[in-house]
A and B are shown apart, each in its own frame.
Chain A
Amino acid sequence: MTLPPVLRLVVRNFASNFDAISVAVRFGQPAVTIVVLGTMFSAYISGQVTGTSSYTAFLVPGMIAFQMVSGGVVSGNLFWLDRRWAMVEQIFSGPFLRSEYLAGLVLTTLLFSMLGVGLMILVAVPLIGLPALSPLALASVLATVGLGGIFFAGLLIALGTRLRSANAYFSIQSFLQLFLIFLSTVYYPVRAGKTPWLLADVVQANPLSFAADAIRAAFSGTLNGTVALGLGVLGLLAALSFGAAVWGFRTMNLGPIQ
């Protein structure tokens, strides 16, 4: 039986681009962060500050939210490398639609992000116990990470269609990744009167903060306005960045890049 074109592309994306080391690093880094940073900081940052039972319990939803960035980076880099090594052109000259290639990247992002979510929860269980997630809460967590992944993947793919140098692409990608994670509520809470107002505003406007806050709310068992807001904002951003990626595909020069 022959798989549909999009699934063949997804299988190819996983088969050709994920070696053991890169997968270990991509998943291992946030997992180690939960274990090491969570354990170390739990002694210094009380649950009163974070509003959770412990700092680790605060960090876990943050690292789950971070999977949206990881998933986006995977697809963004995959697309860039496909361009760099002329596989985009090769695939486009084969039995695929360009929309299928893009759909394959999105699906790869989603699968990678979901895999990351599962792994982060597994790592967290010995430290904070099994989160009491209702099916709806779990669905909202997955939807948040999925939409966030599409947002970040779309952003990087759109960039990848424009940039013609690896240095430029990877510099911007690293900067965006750092910017998103450090100026977000993944590692620390933003408290009125405690965080400088400008920094607090930037952090609150960060899509990763919307994701982290929404997932924290879901983890606490309250599917409140924070979850809806997170989903809404990330859905809008995902639509915008996916639109930018489509536009980038429409106008992309397929010629060689370096």
Chain B
Amino acid sequence: MAAVVGSEVVLRTEDLGFSYTPGHYAVRHLDLEMHRGEVLGLLGRNGAGKTTTVRLLTTLIPPTEGTAYVLGEDLRKAGRALRSRMGVVLQSDSLDFVTVERNLVLYAFLWGVPRETAKARAEEMLELFELGHVRRRKPWAISGGERRRFQVARELMHDMDLLFLDEPTVGLDAVARRRILRYLKERARGGLSIVFTTHILHEADALCDRIAVLHQGQLLAVDTADALKRRYGGSRELRVTFAQALPLALGRSFEEGLKEKGADPLPTHDPPTAEKSVFAFRSPRPEELLPWIVQWGVAQSHEIEELSLTEPTLEGAFLGMVGADEEGESEGPPGSAAPPSARPGGFGWGRK
């Protein structure tokens, strides 16, 4: 997937930060770089700073620290010219009090899209996002999933170089989600750069060229999904199933043999049984254990019915990075992310 990404840098942040009140940072020390045609995922727990990052990069709030260049423009000085080249699907639904179809055309009008183009594009979007059946209904009278699809469809009514999507797939069914992700991937192949926040990790895994993990307002890691899994996903799991249950002593001998090779046995029966046929181990390089296991089975005349290897997931990697805080250890560094309720983010009048 990375092969489609161009070399032109469309977004670069250096030590970017935003504090709602002195000492309470929603985002801090953010260093990111993104290239044309890249899909960059922003992952993080609630309140990690994803939405604040999107709001910063779309000029909705001014940075309080650091610098950022978006589409070649200094974020602190950028204004209409920059925003004219960006699209934003905000986390909260936004709508006008007209029908879905009229909303699309009206939004295109706001962006200066010629009327005929807007009408044709509205038809395309209504079909693409399966909104044709609700075209004459008001957006608040359609389902949550339809409304979310409508939000994405509306933003795609105008041309752009960089698209920010803040949790665009919340409430979507699997079919709709897949359809939208496929479309976004196509657009990215066509050169559109996309910043995408989500809590659905397999979605980020499927769509994003690289993933940035934010935690308590700070960037923990940014890399491809595979690299994150390798680095933070922990050991892989090897599961050995014998055709017949091994006697207790033999089972112990098997486990001891693998332990000596660095494998970490995992419980497979609940409650534990004396004789068992399934053994599981965690190991950073389980493939290196396979010859020994096969030889052991042949030597002991115990047929191995199945050998399976579980790869680390993005969820495992994500939990590996931020999971420790789930147990209430989330004090974080002094002056880190503000509580979600503390959001008095003002902005300057007369910003360009």
Residues of A that sit less than 8 Å from B by CB: 2-3, 5, 8-9, 11-12, 15-17, 19, 81, 85-87, 89-99, 246, 249-256
Contact = CB atoms under 8 A, between A and B. Distances in A.
Contacts of A250: 346-349
A15 B80 contact: no
Question: Residue among B86, B94, B98, B348 with the most chain A CB within 10 A?
Answer: B94
Contacts of B102: 15
A-B complex: 7 closest residue pairs judged by Cβ atoms: A86-B94, A16-B96, A250-B349, A90-B94, A95-B84, A2-B112, A93-B88
Given A85-B95, A95-B112, A254-B60, 7 more contacts: A12-B106, A12-B110, A86-B90, A87-B95, A89-B92, A95-B80, A98-B349
A1 to B, nearest CB: 9
B346 A253 contact: yes
Contact of B98 (A16, A89, A94, A253): A16
A99 B79 CA distance: 12
A interface SS class: helix
A256 B343 CA distance: 10
B142 to A, nearest CB: 14
Interface in B306-352: 343-352
Nearest to B95: A85
B90 A90 contact: yes
Contact of A16 (B58, B106, B112, B351): B106
A87 B60 CA distance: 13
A12 B103 CA distance: 10
B155 to A, nearest CB: 9
11 contacts: A8-B109, A12-B106, A16-B96, A16-B98, A17-B97, A19-B97, A97-B352, A98-B350, A99-B349, A250-B346, A253-B344
B74 interface: no
A3 B114 CA distance: 11
Given A97-B80, A246-B349, A250-B349, A255 B98 contact: no
A89 B346 contact: no
B interface SS class: loop
A19 B96 CA distance: 12
B106 A253 contact: no
Contact of B111 (A81, A95, A254): A95
A92 B60 contact: yes
B256 interface: no
Interface string B66-109: 00000000000001100110101010111111100010001001
Contact of A99 (B90, B109, B350): B350
Contacts of A2: 112
Given A85-B95, A93-B60, A246-B349, A253 B110 contact: no
A3 B109 CA distance: 9
B235 interface: no
Contacts of A11: 109
A196 to B, nearest CB: 44
B119 to A, nearest CB: 15
Contacts of A12: 96, 106, 109-110
Nearest to B348: A250
Contacts of B96: 12, 15-17, 85, 87
Contact of A94 (B83, B344, B345): B83
Contacts of B344: 253
A89 B94 contact: yes
Contact of B346 (A8, A90, A246, A252): A252
Contacts of A255: 343, 345
Nearest to A17: B97
Nearest to A9: B110
Nearest to A13: B96
Contacts of A96: 80, 83, 110
Contacts of B92: 86, 89, 256
B106 to A, nearest CB: 6
B351 A98 contact: yes
